[in-house]
Every structure is written in C-alpha cells, then in structure tokens.
Amino acid sequence: MAWQGNDRRKFPRILYPCMIKIFSSEQGQEVMLTHTENVGVGGCCIIVKKAIQLFSPVSVELDLIDEADHIRAEGKVVWSVRRKAVESFKPSFYDIGIEFANVSEQNQKRLEKAMNIFLKKGYKTLRPVY
C-alpha cells in the first residue's frame, strides 16, 4: 500500500512511544515486542522490522507505563508502509497502523483516562480527519 499522506483517523493519536506486544496468528502465532509511534483510543501506529499482512487480525497488549496493568485489545492491521533504509547496512522498518476492536469496557475507560492524562502532560497529538 502506498502512503497517500491521508490521515483518516476518527480519534486523535498521541505521540507516545509505549511498549506493545503484538500477537499475530497470520505470522504463525508470532509475538513481536516493539513500541508505538502514536496511540489513541481507536488504535495505534507501531514500528516493526517485518511487514504484517494488511487486514490481518492481531491481539495487542499495551504497556502505558503509568497504568498498573497492561491494556489488552483485539485489532486488525489497516495500513502498512515500508520506511526507506537510511543506510545500506540497516534494515528497513515498517510503520503499521492497527485499529482496535473488541476492547472491553473497562480497558476502553482505562485507555481514555490514560490518553487524557497524556494530553494534560502536554504530549503532542495528531488530530483526526473525518
């Protein structure tokens, strides 16, 4: 998928690099530990070393640092963009957009609370475009 520069998010994303575990059944139950580039109540952007197929279902576990317990959610990959390699000996990385789904009401409230805390602390946001 070629990046068109369109921001189609329904919710603002906060530029917050929290740790995240991705469980992908499309990758043979592979578990990836990485960090977010941004996160919001509706999804997140992660940075990984290899692509995850578009529309693949994933399970995620977010470690928002300020929260006692990790937030778990189901989701799907809604976009994937390969970054250009800056140097010939370093691997290219992928920016992967994940849309959350089936988030429990308790985890949804915790995610909203955390996003409000991050906003109050002055973390920068990417505004939604409808």
Confidence class for position 95, pLDDT limits 50, 70, 90: very high
Number of folded domains in the chain? 1
- Backbone phi, psi, residue 111, to 5°: -65, -45
For residue 47, the domain's CATH number is 2.40.10.220
Token pair 């290219």: residue: 92
Does residue 87 fall inside a structural domain?
Answer: yes
Q: What is the domain range of residue 40?
A: 13-107+114-119
- pLDDT of 44-92, one tens digit each? 999 998 888 999 999 999 998 766 688 999 999 999 998 876 666 667 7
Confidence class for position 127, pLDDT limits 50, 70, 90: low
pTM of the complete model: 0.82
Q: Which residue has the higher pLDDT, 123 or 130?
A: 123
The residues near 89 (Cβ < 8 Å, ≥ 6 apart) are none
| β-pairing verdict for 125-126 and 94-101 | unpaired
Does residue 127 fall inside a structural domain?
Answer: no
Whether residue 118 is predicted with pLDDT greater than 90 in this model: the reply is: no
Whether residue 5 is predicted with pLDDT greater than 50 in this model: the reply is: no
Confidence class for position 21, pLDDT limits 50, 70, 90: very high
Does residue 41 fall inside a structural domain?
Answer: yes
